[in-house]
Structure 1
Amino acid sequence: MSLPLTVALLIFPRCQVLDVTGPAMVFEAGNDEVGRAHYDIRILSAQGGVVRTSSAVALVTEPVSELPPTSIDTLLVAGGDESGLKGLVGDETVRRWSVEASHTARRYGSVCSGAYALAHFGLLDGKRVATHWSTCASLAEAWPDVEVDRNALFVNDGSLWTSAGVTTGIDMSLEMVAADLGNAVAHAIAKRLVLYARRPGYQSQFSPVLDAQSQADARFAPLVQWMRENLAQQLDVPCLADRARMSERTFLRRFTQSTGETPAHFVETLRLDRTRTLLATGMLLKDIAAQTGYSSAAQLSKAFERRFGMTPTLFRELHCTSHSG
């Protein structure tokens, strides 16, 4: 039996705890699913010892000096507060160790603003990366040779893997496990973690539901959630206005002012966003159409192509291959 693959999670004071525990949980769940220690998860810091995260949770770490960089299969740098990141990138021992590990590891990367550390170490030049939406602009400005994907949940560019942070570290780690152990194992882990769905990397960081709920006043927030849960129903203005207990004219005006979209456009956004998720499951297009409120696969295809510039079939071929089966 081969030795376990070493997964090194590099952290620092006031890092984001989910950037660390999310991936760690996924890889450990992979061990449980296959019934053996396929992964050896190690949490590292510059000096080792107890490191306090930004969430007041403390993690016990090993110093990077105790783990040979050439022994690393997967290296991930967590994100977190700017002060903690500055301390990490200013440590020459950490820099040398991280550069050597990234050059010999099968894959390396970051979660959230951990991309800044990789950029400081010169490990992102000419690469396409993801990071948290709030820091995309500053990363792109500081390192113009780096292509920052402002929408993706995570990006895989060769041996480099980067994610938008927090819960997306889980999505990225699931994709790594799928590559190592197969989709069946990754799906089983997602089910164990009670995830709504395995989210592919191309999916936007910006949920139309959350966007609408954050913009909408209290009157429309419950309606938005109900719409999301009832996409197969008729969701025209008369139906929605009746549910909101408004006249059609008043509802149309207030909903548009509140969300920035007409009801019809917003409903289509919800339906097509759900379509992209279902395409990744391998579901037949006619069944997706039925679940998302379209009368036929042809009607769904027409709406999808108008919005995204390609057919659902082509979209699935380009983006969802690793999620099929």
Structure 2
Amino acid sequence: MPPPLDIAILAFDGVQILDVTGPAAVFAAANDAVAQPHYRLHILSPAGGGVTSNSGVVLGTQALASVAPSTLDSVFVAGGDGGGLRALAAQAPVCAWLDEASTGARRFGSICTGAFLLAHLGLIDGKRVATHWESCSALAKRYPRVQVDANALYVEDGGVWTSAGVTTGIDMALAIVERDLGAPVAGAIARRLVLYARRPGYQAQFSALLMAQERAREPFAGLVAWIGDHLGHRLDVSTLAGRVSMSERSFHRKFTSVVGDTPAHFVETLRLDKGRSLLAAGVSVKRIAADTGYSTAAQFSKAFERRFGMAPALFREMHAHPPAARMLA
């Protein structure tokens, strides 16, 4: 039996408890799923002992110095209160330990606002990363060398794994388990944790349709829902304005004001979001183009590459479900 892979999650006073316990539950469930200790989890803090989360629940931790950075397969920084993260950043031994651990580990990263500490240390310069939607602008402004993906639930860029807020740490941990142990194990864990669905990393933190439904009022609330159900249809301004009995000029102005996006850009966003899901599911580009209202596969591919910076074929290669690996005995 091979030795377990050591995974560390760095916690601190003011940590978001689900940033720690969510991924920890996934890795523990993976051990149960394969009936052997594939992962050995270390919850660390600078001094060890109890740390008080931002919900008031106290977590038991090991002292950072008790785990040699060179022994770690993976290391992640949890998110939480800004004051707690700044306190970590001010401690030279913590920064030195994390710098050494990230250099030697097979993968490293963060959950939620833990990305700020990695950025402070220059560990994610030039990397595409995720963080909580409320902190995306601040992270991008403070650390311009970091490529902040404001939409993704989690991002893998080389050996760097980062997730958005709170429960997305579970999604990222499931993706890591799938990479290590295969899709059947990750699926079994999702069922055990009673998750409604396993969410892919490219899924937006908030869908454009949901945000529009939240903002919209009649007559646009019903129209927004109708658009989402008819993406393969003609959805130009003339058609949409006619459905709510407005002139095209008045419709364009009022829709943009209420929804926060122009009709054309909003429709394109919904179409391309659906296209991403269909690509990951293995649907052909020709079929996707027809289902999302593009006249040709080339037209869909051009719009997709303009919006996401990669061709549909590359996206499919990156996000298609991998072959199921055998569960360990």
TM-score higher than 0.5 = yes
In the other structure, the counterpart of 1:21 is 21
Structure 1 runs not aligned, ≥5 long: none
In the other structure, the counterpart of 1:180 is 180
Structure 2 runs not aligned, ≥5 long: 323-329
TM-score, scaled relative to structure 2: 0.78
In the other structure, the counterpart of 2:37 is 37
In the other structure, the counterpart of 1:146 is 146
Q: Contact between 1:272 and 1:304, CA under 8 Å: does it hold in 2?
A: no
1:28-107 matched pairs, under 5 angstroms: 28-107=28-107
Q: Contact between 2:305 and 2:311, CA under 8 Å: does it hold in 1?
A: no
- The alignment partner of 2:43 has SS state of strand
- The alignment partner of 1:309 has SS state of helix
- Deviation of 1:85 after TM superposition, in Å, equals 0.7
Tell which deviates more after alignment, 123-132 or 276-285.
123-132
- The alignment partner of 2:8 has SS state of strand
Is the counterpart of residue 171 in structure 1 residue 188 in structure 2? no
- Deviation of 1:66 after TM superposition, in Å, equals 2.4
Structure 1 CA distance for aligned equivalents of residues 305 and 196 of structure 2: 26
Amino acid at match of 1:163: S
- Deviation of 1:221 after TM superposition, in Å, equals 5.0
- Deviation of 1:39 after TM superposition, in Å, equals 1.2
- Deviation of 1:276 after TM superposition, in Å, equals 0.5
In the other structure, the counterpart of 2:326 is none
Amino acid at match of 1:321: M
The alignment's C-alpha RMSD in Å is: 3.6
Aligned mate of 1:309, from 279, 301, 306: 306
Structure 2 CA distance for aligned equivalents of residues 252 and 122 of structure 1: 44
Kindly provide the CA deviation profile for residues 231-273 of structure 1, in whole angstroms up to 9, marking residues without a partner as x: 5786869998999xx6455877654431134556534432321
Structure 2 CA distance for aligned equivalents of residues 137 and 181 of structure 1: 35
Q: Contact between 1:112 and 1:165, CA under 8 Å: does it hold in 2?
A: yes
- Deviation of 1:282 after TM superposition, in Å, equals 1.8
- The alignment partner of 1:108 has SS state of strand
1:223-234 matched pairs, under 5 angstroms: 224=224, 228=228, 230-231=229-230
Amino acid at match of 2:113: S
Distance 1:103 1:194, change over 3 A: same
1:270-309 matched pairs, under 5 angstroms: 270-285=270-285, 288=288, 292=291, 294=293, 299=296, 302-303=299-300, 305-306=302-303, 308-309=305-306
Structure 2 CA distance for aligned equivalents of residues 98 and 158 of structure 1: 18
Structure 2 CA distance for aligned equivalents of residues 261 and 125 of structure 1: 31
- The alignment partner of 2:201 has SS state of coil
TM-score, scaled relative to structure 1: 0.79
Q: Contact between 2:131 and 2:165, CA under 8 Å: does it hold in 1?
A: yes
Kindly provide the CA deviation profile for residues 91-130 of structure 1, in whole angstroms up to 9, marking residues without a partner as x: 3332232222222221111122212212333423444433
Kindly provide the CA deviation profile for residues 112-161 of structure 1, in whole angstroms up to 9, marking residues without a partner as x: 22122123334234444333343334334433443444444333333222
- The alignment partner of 1:79 has SS state of coil
Q: Contact between 2:282 and 2:316, CA under 8 Å: does it hold in 1?
A: no
1:239-250 matched pairs, under 5 angstroms: 247=245
Q: What percent of counterpart residues are identical? A: 47
In the other structure, the counterpart of 1:111 is 111
